[in-house]
Every structure is written in structure tokens, then in C-alpha cells.
Amino acid sequence: MIMKILITGGSGFIGTRLVGELLKAGHQVTIFDKNNSSKYPEFTIVDDVREKDALIKAVAGHDVIYHLAAEHADDVRPISLYHDVNVIGAKNLLAAADNAGINKIIFTSSVAVYPLNAGEPNEDSPVAPFNEYGKSKYVAEQVFEKWVSEDASRSLTIVRPCVIFGEDNRGNVYNLLSQIYKNKFIMIGAGRNKKSMGYVGNIAHFLTFALDFGPGFKLLNYADKPDLTTNELIGIAKNAFGRNGDSELRIPYGIGLLGGLAFDLLANISGKSFSISSIRIKKFCADTTISTSRLLETDFKPPCTLKQALEQTIKTEFSVSNK
């Protein structure tokens, strides 16, 4: 069935890929984002999820809402923006959905609701966010859960993605690949920690797949398995770049963390943001893995493997031929 779908945050990294998938499936799409879409400007309403009246107007006439809009960077100032955008924005969205009579919402939360080094948490594991972003995402989840509990005809899917990478993204995975490509990568820690990762093309397919979920509440972690250690990730990248023989400088975790704390202090004094911080060092060296057993129960099949996705990203972003 062809549907009219509104996507908050649809101009972003995941949102742009999702819009493409939905359009290919024949759906009508509206993007609601504080930034105009570089790829789909004709479908974009430029506004802010903190503006309830604007959301109410935009949502009218749609069948489904994807809520991707979020304040998510590590160094957001003031930190109250996490609550204002992620929590108040969720409440505004639900007011708009109720006004339009919309009963199906798909919300992207985050694995940041779990603590660092939590093993391989599943959706029933204890929640203990390690930063303000994770805290705000968990509060937003509770806002949505209350909404779906109030009407048995409502359908809510909450997806907790791990770190997502892919073409046209300039996040942490790209920065790591870029450092390896330029021979500027410095390894912090032993590299045996494991990372759950997801490819943007795969999660866009899954979010489209989730349109078929019926009434009720589904909470799902998202990652492309199997997990890689940091050393394995670096090995795949070096192989794709043709640099298997290169060695990198390695710094013990303790020394790296002290360096991150020094940059934290400098950032507080100067008011500037730096690419190095203690939280980024902690995240890089931590086990950040999740269980996807519940995802497997949906019978979703990702279009490509994690290794294929990394090689494709490297080929596209760095003009490198896959070996």
C-alpha cells in the first residue's frame, strides 16, 4: 500500500538514504528538518521539532511518521539542547500525530542508552546512559512508550542503532578511515575491544521493512553482525587501502585518556571544540556491542555484509579500488 510519510531529520545521513528507499517503493515523502535536504529539497519543510505549531501543520494529511531528528553530537552546548530537541521534540511530534490521527510511528533512539562496556546488551538489559545524549534519548523512548500504551490500534517501533557509517557521512568511522588513509592514525589501547557497527544502506532497508509491522510496540537493537574488534576494523581498512605492511603508533589507554582530559580542560577554558576529548577516547577504547537476536526474529536480511559495506564506503569516499 502506498503511504504518505513524514520524516523528521530526513535531511540527515540516515534520513537521506531512507527517503531514497521509500521513494523507490513508491511512497510519498515529506522531510521535516532544520536543514534543507541537499538531495531532496523539493520534498523538504525547513523548520524545527521544537516548534509544535510547525509540526502540527506539517504532519497533517500523512499516514506514518519516522522520527529521526535529534541533537546528537558529543560536544553540544548548551547541554540543555539534548532535552529541548530530543525530549520536547518528541512530545511536540506526538501532539502533531494525535492532531492528525496518525497511529504509526517509527523512532530511532540509540545504543547510548546502555552503559559502556556492558557486554552485549539486549533490549531487556538495564539502561544506564553514559552521556546527556543517551539520557535524553531514553526519556524520549518513555514518552513514545506511554503514547503507544494508550491505544491498542497504535503501532510504535523504536530502533536503537549502534554507530552507523557509510557514504556521505563524516562521523567517527569516516574520520578513522581518513586517518588510516593519510597514515595519521594513532592507536590508543590494545585494539581488542569489539564494536557493533551498522551500514547506512542496511539500516535504511530495515527502517523501510519496519513499515509492515502491525499494531503494538517493538523495541529493537540494530547492528550488522558479526562484531569487529578495533584491530579487525583497522585490518579491513588497511587491506582496502593496500597498506597491510604499515605499522601505526600505539599509545596505552591511560596516557590517551590523560590527553583527552587535557583537551577537555582546554575546551572549557577556551570555549572551543576539539576533535579529541575524554569521552571520545573512552568510546574508542570501550566494548560497544549489542545483541541483535530480536532483530533476527523479524527475518530481515541486510543487503550487504559489514566487510562489503566498509569496502564500498572506502571505494566511494577515497576513490580506492577494492582488492
Q: Is 133 a catalytic residue?
A: yes
What span, in angstroms and rounded, lies between the C-alpha atoms of 75 and 260? 13
* Buried-state track 17-53, b at ≥16 Cβ within 10 A, e below 16: bbbbbbeeeebebbbbbbeebebbeebbbebbbeebe
- Strand boundaries in 189-307, DSSP class E: 194-199, 216-222, 224-229, 249-251
Q: Which of 82, 114, 133, 181 is catalytic?
A: 133
How far, CA to CA in Å, does 66 sit from each of 15, 19, 27, 42, 234?
A: 9, 10, 13, 18, 34
Report which of 4, 12, 44, 46 is spatially closest to residue 28, judged by C-alpha positions.
4
What span, in angstroms and rounded, lies between the C-alpha atoms of 167 and 285? 24
- 180 CB-contact burial (10 Å; exposed 0-12 / middle 13-18 / buried 19+): buried
Catalytic residues: 133
